[in-house]
Amino acid sequence: MHRFPDFFSRMHAASVTDTLGGTLVLLGLMLQVDGQYLVLVKLVLVLLFILLTSPTGSHALAKAALHGGLRPKLGSKQDEKDADVLNNFGRTDAPDTDKNKE
């Protein structure tokens, strides 16, 4: 068994297997439909729902984790520009530029 190093890697693996597993199960069920086109249409709608919501949910979870301060483990040869982007994610350049201040 492989253990992924950080939250983002684990979440990506879970998201891919969730989407792919659901898709393959639904495609198998679609092959079993014999002339019942209403059932086939419902399975296609469920498939579209899974294909839209699973990646969207994973993206929202990753963005919330990143915004909450959780940082991905970066490789040892990561350049400073990418590290700077991660450090400044969701922050303004000047701390005095708050829209709620008068």
pLDDT, tens digit, for every residue of 1-49?
788 888 999 999 999 999 999 999 999 999 999 989 999 999 999 999 9
pTM for the whole structure: 0.67
Residues 26 and 42: beta-carbon distance below 8 Å: no
Q: Report how far apart, in Å, the C-alpha atoms of 13 and of each of 44, 90, 93 are.
A: 24, 25, 34
Pick from 68, 58, 64, 66: nearest CA to 86: 66
Q: Report how far apart, in Å, the C-alpha atoms of 83 and of each of 8, 63, 66 are.
A: 16, 16, 13
DSSP tally for the chain: helices H, then strands E: 3, 0
Q: What is the pLDDT of residue 90?
A: 60
